[in-house]
Chains A and B, each alone.
Chain A
Amino acid sequence: MATFYDQVKEMGLKQAFVAKSDEVVERITAGMNIGDIRSALRGDEPRRPNPRLRPHADGFWLHIRPSFYHNEITRVYPTFHLGWLSTFMFVWETITGIFLMIFYTPSPLVAYSNMWNIMANVPLGQLMRNMHRLGAEVMVLVVALHMLRTFVTGSYKKPRQFTWATGMILLVLTLMLSFSGYLLPWDQLAYWALTVFISGAESAPAPPVVNQNVLLILQGGPSLGAGGLLRWYLLHVLLMPLLLAIFFFVHYYKVVLHGFSLPPGREEVGEDTAKRIPKNERTYFIPDIMTSEVMWTALLTLFLVAGSLWFWDAPLEHHADPVVTPLHVVAPWYLSWSQGWLKLAPKTVVIGFIPLLMVIFIVMPYFEVGKSRRYADRRVGLSVSMLFIAFMMVSNWMGTPRYRVQSSSDLEVATKLLPEEGVSVLLGIPPEYLWEGQYLPGQVVADNPHLTYGLQVFNDLMVKHSCTNFPGTTIGGVGLETCEAEDHRMPDPYATLTIEQAQEGLVRMVIHIDALNPENTDEYLYNLDWVGYRHENANYEEECSFINKSC
């Protein structure tokens, strides 16, 4: 092997430098020199022997990737790129998660202030937090859709049953990852979502000794506290990513082993030609698949970064408080169905049903052994799956706040306007428009569109939650419905909003609602003074500008 010095003497500096660069690039890419890379990107035919196959044969990064794909599966249908997308999201979550890890301590004493530190002191900290949380939501969605696609195209059938089984485990791990990350900010949202989840685990159909110990393990003590937070943190950053990585490699190994299944209509029933791709129907990984993946990576990154910066904001409520339960605790959207189920059946049945369902899904391909992957031959299976999806959608809808147990009418109105957590129409009013005074619902305040709008919403809520015993009565010009027996609405209420200065820069808003008892006008049926505070620097206006916050 001639040294670089010898090469320079032999061919001159410029030539030697070019040759050396070629050599280095060829080593890095495990087989392609600069000229090969340029020709691949220009779309030229490869030289013989084809250097574009060598990275797959000799390099680490591409050794698991197929060197060519069937033309049919490189289009959007049948895969919709959802498997690849799930992988991308996992990598994305790892990178953003490690960034957040640097500024986070899993202790109830500091976890919550760490969140504010990330948002108020770490450059790009809020963006990073938003990207991580948005990524988590997208990942759950993508993984679930990936599973749905696999079912619909029949790609779980023999010989791919085990791939499906590992995929199911990956789906559960994804949900658990998302949910374990939920607790880490140690705010009210996190604390109570986890509390509900853990108490669900406690009511599983098992002997009490098992349930009690499961509860103890998940809570890390008699109640959710420092031990529990540390536990869920370790689950989130260590155990679950590790398991997910292991199962991902098993999953992908199996995918490559059996080949990507072709669209159902492309092959004879009972045939699997995924591993026998004719020469004229091949799309090579280098350069076509690779550039496609890089393009999607760039587009998705753009979507996630822009979304996190302008359109979507990770929630952060007040500090977790074991003695204050927020009025309405809702599960995250991807577990909403479980809250819906709790309205259909006793807790124990529901909690017992979920693992049963998982097992059913995992073993399904071993029992559902119909040979054909064609849609026309799978009417029963597809109908059952569509019914299941419909059932899940209804369950999800039943789990939403719309379908929850209502508190008393006056509290419903007051907490919508001045919620214990999050933002609202009134809190979103810019501070310079919070003029002191006493206002009625529906009142129009001249030169103050923000407050007028807030009072309009106040009025709508009052109308919704009120009724009248004197037909023709209105609130803010809107007629009320007549009260019926056993009516849970407020009979002919009187409501005001008072805005007063509590301190310099701090405004106190008081929603007063009262309604007399029609049977006995000496006593109040409703009498509520609901107080909310609003500091001029609290930055609610900015929060209101994101699409996932309601103002």
Chain B
Amino acid sequence: MQIKVAIGTIAFMLTMVIFGYAALREPTRLERFTLAEQGRSIETGAHLYQANCSNCHGVNGLAEECYDLGTGAQIGCIGLPLNYRALLCGDISDRMIALNWQGTKEAFIRSTISSGRAGTEMPTWSEQFGGPLRDDQVRNIVSYVLNYETVELCSGEVIRFEWPDSVDDLLVAFPDSSAENGKALFLSYGCTGCHGIPDEGVVAAVGPDMANIGEVAATRIEGKTALQYIYESILHPSDFIAPECPNGPCSGPPSAMPANFPDRMAVSPGDMVDIFAYLQLLEQ
């Protein structure tokens, strides 16, 4: 019996020692598991993003490379870039200021995904609002999108470009144009997602059709040439809302057309001229 008492006592003390060890290592373990939860949320978010979001926002979140989920063919990106400084950088990002969002960045993205953005092609995703995703899935996608924020993305120099008021000044600054490159840009900037592919007979889905836009645009505003009108529409889409869109009257203001092209095209302003060439707005 004495041996049993001894064994029991030793076992009990060992258990206490193990508990003590576990308690001592607990702070680091908890930290590791907090990170692990975050990491696994990002992993799950990556799968969900590729399955649900990448065909509008691009496989890398840049809104440049979008593929039809059914056929695999490359299509224009309808969505805005998410791997994008104006959305992600700073506690209060430029995008949040533009939309006058008063909450946190995480909540901003979560709310946008959950309830969609009225007047645009962004649908509601949360099942609360009739979408397909549960809240935990929305949160996983938010983790993934927020993970695009890197020091590299946010610390680089912001390239701005003073767009001249008159399109003629732009043409002077960038005299060379390539309609072929313009077509590629028309796809990679995502224009085709809403405006169709004019030279291939793909009709517009959301915004005004671009086939023979040269004639139509000239009639929009008294005293503005077609080129000047298009130029201003790209830079300030909400200033004038076109009367007819494929789904009835065009929505706005604000227009469904993203207002961030002045910043997105600032890196190479000549892209604008190439797109004009592709839309056959330039005098040959």
A residues at B contact (CB < 8 Å): 41, 43, 109, 112-113, 116, 119-121, 123-124, 126-127, 287-288, 291-292, 294-295, 297-299, 301-302, 305-306, 309, 318-319, 321, 502-506, 508, 531, 533-539, 542
Contact = CB atoms under 8 A, between A and B. Distances in A.
Interface in B22-51: 22-23, 26, 29-30, 32-40, 42-44, 46-47, 50
Contact of B35 (A109, A298, A299, A539): A539
B15 A302 contact: yes
Contact of B40 (A124, A126, A298, A538): A538
Interface of B: 1-2, 4-5, 7-9, 11-12, 14-15, 18-19, 22-23, 26, 29-30, 32-40, 42-44, 46-47, 50, 134-137, 144, 147-148, 150
Q: Which 4 A-B pairs have the closest CB atoms?
A: A535-B39, A539-B36, A537-B39, A295-B8
A291 B34 contact: no
B9 to A, nearest CB: 8
A309 B36 contact: no
B44 A120 contact: no
A503 B147 contact: yes
Contacts of A301: 11-12, 15
Contacts of A305: 15, 18-19
A533 B35 CA distance: 16
Nearest to B25: A309
Contact of B147 (A298, A306, A504): A504
A292 B47 contact: no
B62 to A, nearest CB: 12
Contacts of A503: 42, 46, 144, 147-148
Given A291-B1, A299-B8, 7 more contacts: A43-B1, A119-B37, A120-B30, A291-B4, A301-B12, A302-B11, A538-B36
A101 to B, nearest CB: 20
Contact of B18 (A295, A302, A539): A302
A504 B144 CA distance: 11
Given A291-B4, A294-B8, A542-B32, A508 B46 contact: yes
A535 B36 CA distance: 8
Contacts, number: 117
29 contacts: A43-B1, A112-B136, A113-B136, A116-B33, A121-B30, A124-B22, A126-B29, A287-B1, A291-B5, A297-B8, A298-B11, A298-B15, A302-B11, A302-B15, A306-B18, A318-B44, A319-B136, A503-B42, A503-B144, A505-B42, A505-B147, A506-B43, A531-B47, A535-B43, A537-B35, A537-B39, A538-B40, A539-B35, A539-B36
Contacts of B5: 41, 291, 295
Interface-centre pick from B9, B34, B135 (highest chain A CB count, 10 A): B34
Contacts of A298: 7-9, 11-12, 15
A43 B8 contact: no
Contacts of A288: 1
A297 B22 CA distance: 20
A124 B23 contact: yes
A295 B43 contact: no
A17 B40 CA distance: 62
B239 to A, nearest CB: 36
B36 A506 contact: no
A80 to B, nearest CB: 17
A87 to B, nearest CB: 17
Given A120-B34, A504-B147, A302 B14 contact: yes
Contacts of B23: 123-124
A43 B42 CA distance: 63
A537 B42 CA distance: 10
Contacts of A309: 18, 22
Contact of A506 (B35, B46, B136): B46
Contacts of A120: 30, 33-34, 36-37
B197 to A, nearest CB: 27
A536 B39 contact: yes
Interface-centre pick from A124, A291, A319, A502 (highest chain B CB count, 10 A): A502
A432 to B, nearest CB: 15
B26 A123 contact: yes
Contact of B43 (A121, A124, A534): A534
Nearest to B18: A305
A539 B33 contact: yes
Nearest to A41: B5
A73 to B, nearest CB: 17
B55 to A, nearest CB: 15
A505 B39 CA distance: 9
A503 B59 CA distance: 11
